[in-house]
């Protein structure tokens, strides 16, 4: 009981509230009830403040996480755009415009194949499709070389 009063006078309202409730379980009296009533508004304000601070901290963490995700997404898109500018998606050849040759003999239909957005989407979403297509292209290259 007296420890709670000392904590209340020192401004440790939450600790005082805990001390008062322990004292009230053991032996309740009129003085203790008055002190509890006196301390309760201050303890409630401290609790509300702590909840607000914790909520703001969580909001800040979520905002930082979203910013990191957005930044990573923009970097990935920039890398994909840079890779796309190098002539990779159309497979027309390194530095050659589409239809100007530069492709491998016997594989003239690849520009049409990789120009299809559904196939490109499937290759990006499902790595097994990309692996399968690459294996088929490799085996076709080996057959042409022989």
Residue of 65 and 134 predicted with greater confidence: 65
> What value does the CA radius of gyration of the chain take, rounded to a whole number of Å?
35
Are 5 and 35 a contacting pair, CB within 8 Å? yes
Classify residue 136: in a domain, yes or no. Answer: yes
DSSP 99: T
Does residue 91 lie within any of the structural domains? no
- 72 with 6, same domain: the answer is yes
Render pLDDT for 36-89 as a digit per residue (tens, 0 to 9): 999 999 999 999 999 999 999 999 999 999 999 999 999 988 888 887 765 544
- Cβ 119 vs Cβ 90: under 8 Å: no
List the end-to-end C-alpha distance of the chain, in Å, as a whole number: 96
Question: In total, how many domains does the chain have?
Answer: 2
pTM over 0.75: no
Spatial separation of the C-alpha atoms in residues 12 and 138, rounded to whole Å:
74
Range of the domain at 110: 103-146
């Amino acid at each position: 009981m007296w420890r709670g009063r000392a904590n209340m006078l020192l401004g440790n309202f939450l600790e005082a509230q805990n001390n008062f409730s322990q004292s009230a379980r053991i032996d309740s009296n009129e003085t203790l009830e008055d002190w509890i009533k006196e301390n309760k508004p201050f303890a409630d304000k401290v609790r509300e403040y702590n909840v607000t601070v914790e909520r703001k901290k969580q909001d800040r963490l979520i905002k930082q996480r979203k910013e990191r995700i957005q930044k990573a997404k923009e970097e990935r898109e920039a890398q994909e755009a840079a890779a796309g500018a190098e002539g990779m998606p159309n497979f027309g050849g390194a530095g050659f415009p589409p239809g100007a040759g530069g492709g491998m003999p016997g594989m003239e239909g690849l520009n049409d194949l990789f120009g299809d957005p559904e196939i490109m989407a499937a290759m990006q979403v499902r790595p097994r499709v990309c692996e399968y297509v690459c294996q088929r292209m490799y085996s076709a290259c080996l057959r042409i070389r022989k």
